[in-house]
Structure 1
């Protein structure tokens, strides 16, 4: 099966994060926002601005690198958020749901929102904006740079 890539630029990420804030309006107001680092930091900042939340916290869960999936490790818990009551948790993407499960265990009462969701992780989030297929790798603007890419037909060997 060919790998699929979905490239998200800064402007689209901003629009989609703002759309997430619109969707979250009916669930607030929130006491604060917890960003799941690192990918959730920029969407969380945009959402916090749009919802006028000034109290920001982070949770750092390491689950994988570019090479492989490992056991999730909480390397920085969200101390100010308690059990999550009244808090909004934001991430860029829910993929397999591994990180979401860990964060749900830490903050069972929080509202979990992501900008993008894949089918395997979608049931674990309360709110999201865009669904992408499980076999699609999202290329976020902080992970990419502009360079030449061969046409799809050439990569497929046609």
Structure 2
């Protein structure tokens, strides 16, 4: 509980959950056509992006480095807006079908910033977005929804590759 007495839910996902969510989004993406390139939002989107790249036989895997939380702690504070800490190899995406991948969408701000970068700076011909989980407690309704969502929850999410710290 936090100081106001409100219960703050934490959803701990397992590798089995991840496999299920990746399978779900893979089926939907397949119906719409395989991507030509996959861009992961680092750090959280790296593992789902690699899993999807293998499923689609897509060898063109790139990363964007964004941060939007101040620490790795559960219920960590967020920065005012996502911070781009590095761009790796977005050249050559112009005119291509690109799949942007992240592990979770909370407010949707990071996904929106990455989407803008790939649409405008990289000039992707087709840009689809995928997240394994949407946190509906934080989702900002004015943001464009991800194209593909593995699962929706209300509350903080930890992934099996994270080592959460307490606040």
User: TM-score under structure 1 normalisation?
Assistant: 0.81
Range with greater deviation from structure 2 (101-110 or 37-46): 101-110
2:128 to 105, 111, 136: 111
Question: What is the correspondence of 1:1-158 to structure 2 with a 5 Å cutoff?
Answer: 1-64=6-69, 65=71, 66=73, 67-70=76-79, 71-78=81-88, 79-80=90-91, 82=93, 85-108=96-119, 109-119=126-136, 120=139, 123-133=144-154, 136-144=155-163
* Number of matched pairs: 143
CA contact (8 A) 2:65 2:87 kept: yes
For residues 41-73 of structure 1, the C-alpha deviation after alignment (integer angstroms, 9 at most, x for no partner) is: 111111111111111000111111233211321
Stretches (4+) displaced over 6 A? none
Counterpart for residue 150 of structure 1: none
Q: CA RMSD in A?
A: 2.0
2 CA distance for matches of 1:74 and 1:106?
A: 10
User: TM-score under structure 2 normalisation?
Assistant: 0.77
Q: 1:72 to 1:2 in 2, by over 3 A?
A: same
CA contact (8 A) 1:81 1:87 kept: no
* SS at 1:73 equivalent: strand
2 CA distance for matches of 1:128 and 1:27?
A: 14
For residues 99-153 of structure 1, the C-alpha deviation after alignment (integer angstroms, 9 at most, x for no partner) is: 01111110124111111112315743111121112xx1111112248xxxxxxxx
Q: Which has the higher helix share?
A: 1
CA contact (8 A) 2:100 2:115 kept: no
Counterpart for residue 122 of structure 2: none
Q: Which runs of 5+ in 1 are unaligned?
A: 146-158
